[in-house]
C-alpha cells in the first residue's frame, strides 16, 4: 500500500473547520483551522525546510544520524528543537522532523486562528478548544484495524500526538510493534518518543514493561501500543467508539 497517498485523510469527519493541504517536497501537511491559511502555511514551510537543509549541508551526517547530535549556537530554532528532543530519547534528530514541522507550522498559524490541527504523515500538533477524536491505524492485518480511536481533551493546551510502526508507513523501527502512539506537550518530543518506544517493542510481553517505564519516566502525557492481539496504554489515552 502506498502510504504517501495519505488515504487515512479520507476518514476525517468534516465540521466547522476549514481543511487545506500544504505540500513541499517530502513535507505533506493536512491542516484544519478557522480559515484557509494555505499561503501563510506554505511560506513558513518553505522557510523551515530551508533552515533544515542549510544546516544539513554544513553538518554532514545530520540527516542520516540514528543517534543524538550536538546543537551549535547557530542552529535554527527548528533544528535546535529536533536535536534537543531527540537526545532525550537517544534517537537521531530526523526521528523528530515530522512532529517538529507540524508543531512549528501550527504555532505560527495560531497567530491567525484560535484553533488548529496540523497532521504530517501521522504525526499531529493540535491546540483546540474542544475534544478531538483520532484514529490509530495499525494496518489491515491487525486485529485492532479501524477499532482504536482515542479522544484528546486538552482544551486550550497544545498537544503533540505522534505515531511509529514496524508494519505501517515509512517509519524506521527496530521493533515489531504494529502501532505506537505517544502524547506529549511538544510534538517533536512525542515524535522522538514514538520512535524510541517502538524500537523497544519486539514481542507482546514488552508492552506492559515499556509502558510502565514511560509512565515512571513522567515525560509523556500518555502512550498506546498494539502488537498482535495485545494493546496497552496509560495516561491521557481515552479510548472511545469509532
Other CB atoms closer than 10 Å to residue 11's CB: what's the count?
10
Residue 135: predicted pLDDT: 87
**Does some domain include residue 2?**
no
pLDDT in tens, 35-80: 999 999 999 999 999 999 999 999 999 999 999 999 889 999 999 9
Residue 135 in contact with residue 11, Cβ under 8 Å? Answer: yes
Q: Which domain holds residue 97?
A: 10-240
Give the total number of structural domains in the chain: 1
Q: What is the gyration radius of the CA atoms in the chain, in angstroms?
A: 17
Q: Which CATH number does the domain housing residue 230 bear? A: 3.10.520.10
Question: Is 5 part of a structural domain of the chain?
Answer: no
User: So what's the pLDDT on residue 1?
Assistant: 42
Give how far Cα 185 sits from Cα of 138, 178, 219, 220, Å: 24, 24, 9, 8
What are the backbone dihedrals phi and psi of residue 92, each rounded to the nearest 5 degrees, phi first?
-75, 155
Q: What would the pLDDT profile of 73-109 be if each residue is shown by its tens digit?
A: 999 999 999 999 999 999 999 999 999 999 999 999 9
For position 3, what pLDDT does the model report? 45
Q: Which three cell numbers stand for residue 102?
A: 507540524
Percentages helix, strand, coil for the chain (3-state, rounded to 5) are 35, 25, 40
Predicted structure pTM score: 0.91
* Digit-coded pLDDT (tens) for 2-45: 445 566 565 566 689 999 999 999 999 999 999 999 999 999 99
Residue 110 lies in a domain: yes
Asked whether residue 3 is assigned to any structural domain, the reply reads no
**Domain-embedded: residue 64:** yes
Q: Would residue 30 count as lying in a domain?
A: yes
For 88, the grid coordinates are: 532525550
Q: Is 1 part of a structural domain of the chain?
A: no
Provide the terminal-to-terminal Cα distance of the chain, rounded to the nearest Å: 23
Amino acid at each position: 500500500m502506498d502510504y504517501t497517498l495519505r488515504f487515512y485523510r479520507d476518514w476525517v469527519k468534516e465540521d466547522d473547520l476549514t481543511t487545506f493541504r500544504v505540500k513541499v517536497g517530502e513535507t505533506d501537511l493536512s491542516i484544519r483551522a478557522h480559515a484557509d491559511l494555505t499561503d501563510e502555511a506554505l511560506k513558513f514551510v518553505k522557510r523551515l525546510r530551508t533552515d533544515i537543509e542549510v544546516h544539513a549541508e554544513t553538518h554532514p551526517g545530520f540527516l542520516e544520524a540514528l543517534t543524538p547530535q550536538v546543537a551549535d549556537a547557530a542552529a535554527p530554532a527548528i533544528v535546535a528543537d529536533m536535536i534537543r528532543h531527540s537526545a532525550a530519547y537517544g534517537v537521531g534528530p530526523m526521528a523528530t522532523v515530522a512532529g517538529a514541522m507540524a508543531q512549528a507550522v501550527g504555532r505560527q498559524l495560531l497567530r491567525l486562528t484560535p484553533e488548529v490541527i496540523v497532521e504530517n504523515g501521522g504525526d499531529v500538533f493540535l491546540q483546540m478548544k474542544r475534544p478531538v477524536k483520532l484514529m490509530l491505524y495499525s494496518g489491515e492485518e491487525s486485529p485492532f484495524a479501524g477499532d482504536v480511536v482515542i479522544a484528546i481533551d486538552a482544551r486550550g493546551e497544545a498537544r503533540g500526538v505522534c505515531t511509529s510502526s514496524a508494519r505501517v508507513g515509512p517509519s524506521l523501527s527496530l521493533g515489531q510493534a504494529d502501532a505506537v502512539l505517544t502524547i506529549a506537550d511538544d510534538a517533536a518530543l512525542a515524535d522522538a518518543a514514538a520512535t524510541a518506544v517502538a524500537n523497544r517493542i519486539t514481542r507482546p510481553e514488552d508492552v506492559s514493561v515499556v509502558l510502565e517505564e514511560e509512565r515512571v519516566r513522567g515525560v509523556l502525557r500518555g502512550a498506546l501500543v498494539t502488537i498482535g492481539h495485545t494493546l496497552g496504554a496509560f495516561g491521557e489515552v481515552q479510548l472511545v467508539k469509532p
